[in-house]
Each structure stands twice: as structure tokens, then as C-alpha cells.
Structure 1
Amino acid sequence: MTNSRPFFSVALAAGFAAVLHFAGPARADTPPDVDASLTGSYLAARLAISERDNDAAITYLRNLLRLDSRNDEIVERTFYLMLVDGQIDEAMKLTDRLIKTDRTNRIARLALAVRAIRKGHYQSARTHLALSVAGPVGDLTKTLLAAWTLLGTGNAKGAVEHLDRLEGPAGSAPLKELHAGLILDAAGMKKEAGKRLEQAMKMDPGWSPAVDAYARWASRNEGIPAALAAYSSFAQLASSDVFAQQAIKDLKAGKSLPPRVKTPQEGAAEVLFDLGSQLGRQGGEDLGLLYLQFATWLQPDHPLASFSLADIYDRVRQPGKAITFYEAVPADSPLKREAEIRRAVNLAAIDKFVDGRASLEKLIAADPKDLGALRALAMIEMTHKMFGECAATFSRAITLVPQPSKADWPLFYFNGMCNERSKNWPVAEASLKRAIELSADQPEVLNYLGYSWVDQGMNLDQGLNLIRKAVKLRPDDGPTVDSLGWVYYKLGRYDEAVTELERAVELMPQDPVINDHLGDAYWKVGRKLEATFQWAHARDLKPDPDDLPKIVQKIEKGLDTAEQPAPPVRKAEDQTAAPAAATAAQ
């Protein structure tokens, strides 16, 4: 189920998780072969961490520990990265060293508390939580966990009182009410549980954990109609929530629903899941991963944790890791089909396009009306420049949407793009116009249609106005500003082209297309030395192989005798983010 409510500012979490990173360059191309030197291992670890290549980073950090075993900073970084990577048992071996040098270390104490909860040592867990250093996110975490440990020692009333004393971050009240209700429900205090769970739902009727917990309670205590009413109200806010859909089916079949949480250990896992999924969605990916890894360690069969881990790895562009966790989603989970779609997309992202495409085609064969699978197939076909195929697949997807809404504009945009690239301009133009009808202020669509018109010498004023509107909507987007400059170039307005293309280069100095365009504009206004410099820069930035010979020819012979460059229609993946195959339940 979706879990998208912000209980606290991610800025608070940033300080909590900052220690997870070395400052360093943006890419690590060094293979995970251990460098024998201290400096080499340190630099390699920095690069691997900046690349989010935790496997390599941990390898280098382990080597650093062998070379410099007394370095507390290296111990701490190794420990954190192991936790983020799910190597919890290995990380636990370092906790004593961390506590010895910093007895209030937040994450070390959290790790020890989680281990104690896993073993059923609830008093020990509370001790570790109490020793943890204070902080808004840390206080919220340890209060919620401590409440579940109080239930573990038979003190449900004390657990709820402990929660009620917390003055948490803004927006945390529904979370406190939810866990108070879950604790009371697990303790068999039915009436009190219902009041708390209903209050949590009323505080945030669009937050699925609260709705789900209350509806499950209602199905067992007030009857199936009451549970159906709760889910039905929620469905108006989140119609695509697959867990709510499954629960409604079960209720209509006459089944009551079990509690969302049954034991203190599951309750602690739910705390870590709730907080981890929020952190992961709000920019705190590393801490989100750490919390979710703890959740799965406590409850390996948690219905959402594996999918949430995969979702974070998706967003930080770690397709191999994402695939692992999508595959771990249980076969009977309502999220399994969505997990299979996303797994296939990630296979295509790691040069296993044939496997990914075959997986999607198998899903579509089993359900030809699966819009998410069709859309995902079309996107990977477009990414691999199979424009005729992606045009056909998007057309199939569009037939499944007889009454398109504003949210469906990406289908028509990408369909227009695929048809334009496969030389079917009438269908492309109609699709792009339909996208604008559905959502008039999408810069990508305005830019694409406007440029296409100008490039073909048609609707010049209208096309230029569309691109100007796109730039106004997205003034700091290099490709969009580049399109405006290039249209001025195509219209022979070279001074204006130079102005816009110079601004585009400032916004995206490492883009070969934009540098190439600026070189052309410089040549036309007589700045030939600068033009040659820009072309040389574009050549060195690894342009598309089809464009490279043209750039080299211009460097050698100038623009007047060289073949004119192709229009700046960017790769599909550069235009905009692909529409999600389906709304993921978090």
C-alpha cells in the first residue's frame, strides 16, 4: 500500500545520515580489486561510495581496516555501509568497537536494539535505545521502538503512555496514533485499539497504513461493511493501491482480515518500514535503505519491505540491486506483477534487453490489457531506438485508455516521439497535439512539437511560441534552452541563436549536442575560431556515433563545406522521465 506521508523533514534526516558518505567525485570506475596501499584504498573507497557501489566500497574499507585497524572513522563508515547493504550480521561484529569510542552512537545503539528485539530481549533493547544520542528523527525512532518493547514485556498501557509523551516532528501525530492502536490491538484491547486506529485514519485519510490497520480492526470487531466503507473512502484518494484492492476482494468474499501487526517484533519491523520508506522517498536514500534492511532482518516476510528496498535502488540507479529485491517479492503478493514489470525494465538497463523484453511480452501475453506492462515494453523499445516497435506498442497501450485524462499525457507524448522518429509524422503530430490538449503546460511536449514544426519549415511562428513557452516553464533546462537557440539558428536569426545557445552551454557544459550547436552559431556570426573550439569540445564529449563524423568534418573544413548537422532530437531517455509502469505501493 502507498506510504507517502511526510512525518518529518528530510533535512533532519540528512544530518542523521551524513556520516554515510565521503565527499568525492561522481563516478567510480575502479574495479573492486583491493589496492595494497592506505591512500589507494581510501581514494578507491571514496569513489565507490560516491557511485553508490557499496560492494566495492566495503571491500576497500575492509582493506583499510586491515591497514589501519585503529582508525575509528573507518570502522564507523564500514559499519554503516554494511548495514545499508544488508550485511547486518557482519556489521554487528563492529558494534563493540563503536560503542567503546562513542557510547551514544545513534546507529550503533539502534543496531544493538534491533538485535535485542530480534532475540526477544526487550529490556536490553530499551537500554540501548535510551543510551542513543538525542535528535528529532532518532527520538521518534527510539520512542516508537521502545513502545513495542514495552508491549514485549507485557506492559501495553505503559507502551501507549510512552508514545503519548513524545512531542515528535511536525506531522508525526498520525504515526504515533497508528502505533498506539496497533499495540493495543496486538494486546487484545479491542475498544481502545479501535479508537486510536480510527483517529490515525481521520488524521490522514490518504495514508494507507492507517486506513489498512483500521479496516482490518473493523472487519473483526464492527463487521465487514465497516471495513469496506473505510477502504472505499480511501480508494477515492488512491484508486491504484493494490493492497486495498485485494483487501476489498477478500472482504466481499466474506473474509475478515487479520491484524496488520501481531507481535512486538513485527511491530518494530513496521516502525522501521514506515520510517524507512518515508526517508527513501524524501531524499534520505541511505538511511531509508538502512531502516528497511533492519525491517527485513526483523521480519523477512514483511509484505512491503522488499519492494520498497527495490524501489529505492531503482531511484538511485542501481538496477542490479533493484532486480534482487524485486525477485524477493513473494509470489502471492499483490505487488508481484508490478515487481515483475520493474524487474524486466531493470534487466534492460543492465544490457539484458532481450531477457527484459521477453519477460514483459510474457506478462502481456498472460494479460493483454496490462497497461503497465505495455507502457514498460514501449519505453525499453524506445530506449533501444526501436522506434517502429515502440510506436506500435504505445498505440496498443492507448487503445486501453478510451477516455484519457490529464495524467495520460505521457502516453501520447511518447507515442508522438516514437512515430516522429520512425518517419510517421501525421500520427506523431496528432499524438503530440493530443498530449498538449490533455496537459497544456508540459515543457517536453511543447518543445518537441514546436521544434518539429520549425525543423520542417511549417507553423514557424506557432512552433517558436511553443518553444518559448517551454523555456518559460523550464528556464534552467539546458536541452529546452538549446532547442530555442537552435530554432533561432534554423530561422537564420544567428545573433539570437548565439545568445540562447551560450546560455544552454552554461546550463549543460558537458553536453556534446549543445556545444556542437553553439559552434555552428558562432561560425554563422563570424566567430570561426570559437566555433572550431566548440566543435572540438563537442568531439571530446563523446557524441552520438552518428554525429561524430559530421563534427570532425566541420573541425577540418568549416561549416560551409561540411554536411549540416542533424536536428537536435534527443534520445528518448533524455526527454523526460519514463512514466511509471504503475503506482508502486509503499
Structure 2
Amino acid sequence: MLAAPAHASTPETQRELFVQARTADLLGDADTAATLYERLISAGPVAAEIEARAASEAIAAGRFDLALSVAAQSSQPRSLNLDVRLLLLAEALKTQRYREALAMLEDGEARVNIEFLAPFVRGWIETATARPGTPPRGPALVTGMASQRPLSRQKDEQAALLHLASGSVDGAVEHIDAALSRAGPREARLRLAFAERLTELGRPDLATVLLAGEDVILAEARARLAAGEPLGMAIRTPAEGLAELLLSIAVDLTEGRDTALPLGLAQVARFADPANAGAAIIAGAMLERDGRVERALTLYRSVPPASPLALQAEDSILQLLIRNERAQEALDLARAAQRRTPARPGGWARIGDALAALDRHAEAADAYAAERGQLGGGDWPLLFLEAVARHEAGDWDAAEALLGQALALAPDQPILLNYLGYSMLEEGGDLALASAYIRKASRLSPDSAAITDSLGWALYKLGDIEGALDALERAATQAPADPEIHEHFGDALYTAGRRIEARFAWEAARFYAPDAAARDRLEDKIAYGLQPANAAP
């Protein structure tokens, strides 16, 4: 229910409340904005636009009861935003009010129509209400969609889930591979959902194939299903099907600039299926992207330890803490997890990540080495991480040897080739060999600004100034906020006699410089020109 109306003891007028709510809204503080909008609406009648904004902010903050209350009391319910209309649809499906849900799809007077979801929602309702023993009609509503129809990318995933919900293994198998190929960060979650339902339908052999490999999450799920333990990941109901559909759309939309709509979709998915750990993780990642760190942590921590995705949530927490300069917290958590499950792969690597973020590079290298020992040693990413840590700790000889081992295992990995080549440039190694490594990395990954910068710097070191300028200019265009690239470009411009342009490049580098030492070096170059003492490292 909405809060009681404000009386004389509350000094804010509706106008003041609106300004405060809008300010919080623009600053991305959905929790405060939702609270202020709630007080604003409680204080008296407001415009439909404010009602719509209040309900959307409540959804962004995860306050679904408030959003539903605002929507229920709205003076113009057809003016509600897309996320609010989807929340109402999710509520109708959760409470099995299927006629009401279908009516929402067909409401042509709504400002934001949700008819684009019709094949999927109708398919799930048909599946849920089908009489036992009758041929399933729900999947056909999805598979019959035209390829140019909106959300056709989601067709295979939803078709597979509908076939499994209706008990048709053969129908699902036709769509599973295509669904997984488009799943992106949701792939592990979908594999678990498919595998659990296949096991329930008497095909544990197919489930085992889906969960094959050394991935820890999949390996633990295999063991649980083999022991007859449920995973809690199967998707069976219309509300759960809608949740997965909205998550798929939200992930697709994260490529764009709009962060509000993907977050709203992910939050509605959480409401539709509160047990969906994948929804909590995806919504948490979107909150983190918006700078709402504590809210993101709350969602990551909401994933129960028994969930097959608990390890993914734990990784999300650790990486969030590291990215937000809370590496000591991350280290404490990683060590506690390692004590709880010392045999689980990945534990030492997580400790290494936290130690590296704390600039304790020698200890980080030892942690990565311990992880390699636990796995048997033949893992190029771990060799690479250990090499980087050894290098940062000042032991280039050990780092170079580890990089050589990694390169023998993965001769076509651009990140490995680039790091080895660039490090050889820094350490005074064989310039021709370093250049060869970087050229190969550039051929394999031509759109990488970092690798293009390395190529330009290698050419500069080899005396090919024109080639260096061409590569460094491309790198600066690819990554206009990278100070190292601008400094390299400036050094090359100065050496080519283009002194004014060089100072513009150094000014850009100084603007983005991460520390005082780099700014001092750049200011010296801007004032006095390029000299051996102030050359880029």
C-alpha cells in the first residue's frame, strides 16, 4: 500500500518533492527516487507522467509492491511505461489469471503495446492449460513466427523451453543447439535448465552431453543430477518462461546506451521468477554498470549457497569488490571460500586476482601457481596470469619463461602474443622477435586498440616512424581516452618533427593520465619537448 498522505508536519510541497525525486532519478538513485515519488503521489493527485515515472523507479529499485500499488491506483493505467505493463503481465501469469494476461496483449489503446510478446505468452498459456494426453500446441505458436518478427532471435530458446515444459524431448532437441549459440552470458543457466528438465523426462544421457566439460558449475550440476538431486533450474510455468524471455531481451539490449530499459526488464524477470538466480546476477550486473554498487552486491548475495549458480554469484561479488577498490574484502572472501571448499577449482585463482589488485604481485603469482598445480599445470590462461604477476613483481626472467610455456600451448592467442611482444620491447629484448609477435597479434585481432598501439610502438622502436604514426593514429582513434596510446602517439609525432601535433597528443594523455608520475612526465614533455629522461616507458 502507498504511504499515508503528507500533512502539515511535512514541509515539502508537491513541487519540491517532484524536483527532489527528479534529481534523484537523474543521478541514478532509484531507491531515493522511488521513495520520493511515493510521497509525492501520497500527497495528492498527480499527472499520469509522474505516476508512470514513480512506478518505473520502483521497479528499478526492486520495490515491486510499490510499483504494483501505483499502477493499481493510476488515473491513466494505459499511460504506464513498458516495464510497468510487463510487471502487470508477470503478476497475471504468476497468479494464473491467463485471460487477463491475454487481454493485456491485445490492448490496442495502451501507449506502450506489448503485443510483440504475444506468440511467446500464448505459447506458454497453451502449454500450461493443455489437457493431459493432447498434442502440445504451445511450441507451434513460437516456431511458426515469421523470421522478420520482433524477438525472432529468442524463438529457438523459447521453443526449446516450451517443448520441454510440454514433455517433448524430440521437439526440444531441434532447438537447443541454436538457443545455446545465442545465449551469451546466460549459456550456463540455460544448459542447467535444459539438463534438469531432460533428466526429469527420462533422458539423463542428453543432460550429460549438455553438461560436459571441465567448467566447475557444469561439473557440479552433473554430479548432483547423477545423485538424483534437483537443481532448481528447470523452467516449467508461464511466469518462469516470461522471466527467461525478458532476461534474453535485456542482455541483447545491454549493447546500447540505454541502461534503464534493460535493468527494468531484468527486475521484472526477478519478480516473475523470484527463484531465478540468473535473473539476480544479470540485474546485479546492470546495477553495477549504473554505479549502484551496494544494490548490486545485495542481489549477488541473494543467490542461495545451494544454487548451481552460487559460484557465478560469488565471482561477481569478488570482481565487483576488486573493480571498486575493495580488494581486501575480496581477498578475505576468496580465502574464506577456499577454506570451505579447498578442492574446488578456481579458488586459488580468485585469491590471486585479489592479491594482484592489492599490488601483492609475488603472492598473487604463487596463488596462480598453486591453482596450476591443482589443475595439473597445462592451462595457458593461468600461465599467463602467473607470468604477468611475476613480471609486475620484478622477475622478468621467470615471467618470460612462463609466457613461453603459455605460447607453446596457445600459439594463436592475441592477448598472449601482444603481452609477450610488448614486454620484450620494455625489457630490451629482441626487437625483431618482439615485433613479429605483435604483428601476429595484430593480424589475429585487428580491432584491438591495445594491440594496434603495441604494433605502433614496436615500429617506433625499430625506427619505422611513418609506420608507427599510422598504427598509433589508428589506436588513438579506437581508444580516445587511453593516455598511454596518446603519449606513444605524441612521442612518435615529435620524433617525426610534428612538434605542435605532438603537444596536442601529450595534452590528451595528460588529461586522462592515471597518476601524478605520468602527469609530471607529460608536463615536462609539453614544456621542454621529448628527451631521453621523459620518453614514454
Q: Under TM normalisation by the shorter chain, which class is it?
A: 0.7 to 0.9
1:147 matches 2:122: no
1:91 matches 2:70: no
Describe the SS at the equivalent of 1:390.
helix
Alpha-carbon distance in 2 for matches of 1:303, 1:538: 42
Q: Which residue of structure 2 aligns with residue 346 of structure 1?
A: 320
Q: Which residue of structure 2 aligns with residue 355 of structure 1?
A: 329
Cα distance, 1:242–1:413 mapped onto 2, change above 3 Å: closer
Alpha-carbon distance in 1 for matches of 2:44, 2:515: 44
Alpha-carbon distance in 2 for matches of 1:542, 1:61: 41
1:115 to 77, 87, 91: 91
Q: Report the AA paired with residue 238 of structure 2.
A: A
Tell me if the contact between 1:147 and 1:159 (Cα under 8 Å) persists in the aligned partners: no
Name stretches of at least 5 consecutive residues in structure 1 with no aligned partner. 1-33, 185-192, 219-226, 568-586
1:371 matches 2:354: no
Alpha-carbon distance in 2 for matches of 1:550, 1:486: 18
1:197 matches 2:169: yes
1:523 matches 2:526: no
Alpha-carbon distance in 2 for matches of 1:158, 1:315: 46
Determine which structure has greater relative contact order: mean sequence separation of CA pairs < 8 Å that are 6+ residues apart, divided by chain length: 1
Query: What's the TM-score once normalised by structure 1's chain length?
Result: 0.72
1:329, distance to aligned residue in structure 2 (A):
1.1
Q: Which residue of structure 2 aligns with residue 444 of structure 1?
A: 415
1:280, distance to aligned residue in structure 2 (A):
4.0
What percentage of residue pairs aligned between the two structures are identical? 24
Q: Which residue of structure 2 aligns with residue 501 of structure 1?
A: 472
1:267 matches 2:237: yes
Q: CA RMSD in A?
A: 3.9
1:106, distance to aligned residue in structure 2 (A):
5.4
Alpha-carbon distance in 1 for matches of 2:395, 2:251: 39
Tell me if the contact between 2:121 and 2:242 (Cα under 8 Å) persists in the aligned partners: no
> Bigger shift: 117-126 or 461-470?
117-126
Q: Which residue of structure 2 aligns with residue 230 of structure 1?
A: 206
Cα distance, 1:386–1:60 mapped onto 2, change above 3 Å: farther
Describe the SS at the equivalent of 2:534.
coil
Q: Which residue of structure 2 aligns with residue 240 of structure 1?
A: 215
Describe the SS at the equivalent of 2:76.
helix
1:464, distance to aligned residue in structure 2 (A):
0.8
Q: Report the AA paired with residue 70 of structure 1.
A: A
1:505, distance to aligned residue in structure 2 (A):
2.1
Per-residue displacement from partner, 1:128-173 (whole Å, max 9, x unpaired)? 234377778522442244336646xxx5689943553442336625
Q: Report the AA paired with residue 374 of structure 1.
A: W
1:292, distance to aligned residue in structure 2 (A):
4.2
Q: Report the AA paired with residue 138 of structure 1.
A: L
Describe the SS at the equivalent of 1:204.
helix
Tell me if the contact between 2:442 and 2:455 (Cα under 8 Å) persists in the aligned partners: yes
How many residue pairs get aligned? The number is 497
Per-residue displacement from partner, 1:287-333 (whole Å, max 9, x unpaired)? 55444433433443345443443355567775433321221111322
Q: Report the AA paired with residue 473 of structure 1.
A: L
Q: Which residue of structure 2 aligns with residue 172 of structure 1?
A: 155
**TM alignment of 1:31-42, pairs within 5 A:** none
1:418 matches 2:389: yes
Q: Report the AA paired with residue 486 of structure 1.
A: W
Describe the SS at the equivalent of 1:458.
coil
Q: Which residue of structure 1 aligns with residue 194 of structure 2?
A: 210
1:531, distance to aligned residue in structure 2 (A):
2.7
Alpha-carbon distance in 2 for matches of 1:525, 1:275: 56
1:301 to 267, 275, 292: 275
Name stretches of at least 5 consecutive residues in structure 2 with no aligned partner. 1-13, 146-151, 181-189
Alpha-carbon distance in 1 for matches of 2:457, 2:209: 50
Q: Report the AA paired with residue 232 of structure 1.
A: T
